[in-house]
Amino acid sequence: MNWYGPALQTELIEKYGEVASDKINELPQYDPANVEALADSPLKGKKIIFLGSSVTFGSNSNEASFVEYLAARDGIAYVKEAVSGTTLVDNGETSYIARMKANIPDQKADLFICQLSTNDATTGQPMGEISDSKNMDDFDTTTVAGAMEYIIAYADQHYGCPVMFYTGTKYDSEQYGEMVELTKKLQEKWGIGIIDMWDDLDADIPEYHYYMANGIHPNRAGYLDWWTPFFEQEIERYLDLN
pLDDT above 90 for 9: no
pLDDT above 50 for 33: yes
What confidence score (pLDDT) does residue 8 get?
40
Average pLDDT taken over every residue of the chain: 93
Q: pLDDT digits over 197-215, tens only? A: 999 999 999 899 899 999 9
- In the chain, at which residue ranges do the beta strands (DSSP E only) sit? 47-52, 77-82, 111-115, 163-166, 193-195
Which amino acid appears at position 177 of this protein? G
List 25's β-bridge partners, or say none.
Answer: none
Helix axes 228-238, 66-74, angle to 10 degrees: 70
Q: pLDDT digits over 83-113, tens only? A: 999 999 999 999 999 999 999 999 999 999 9
Task: Name the band, by pLDDT with cuts 50, 70 and 90, for residue 185.
Answer: very high
pTM > 0.85: yes
- CA–CA separation, 242 and 125 (whole Å): 38
Read off the pLDDT of each residue in 213-232 and give the average, rounded to a whole number.
97
Read off the pLDDT of each residue in 21-40 and give the average, rounded to a whole number.
95
CATH class, range 6-238:
alpha beta
Q: pLDDT digits over 120-164, tens only? A: 999 999 999 999 999 999 999 999 999 999 999 999 999 999 999
Which amino acid appears at position 71 of this protein? A
Q: Name the more confident of 2 and 222.
A: 222
What confidence score (pLDDT) does residue 19 get?
60
Instruction: List for the chain the helix, strand, coil content (%; round to 5).
Output: 50, 10, 40
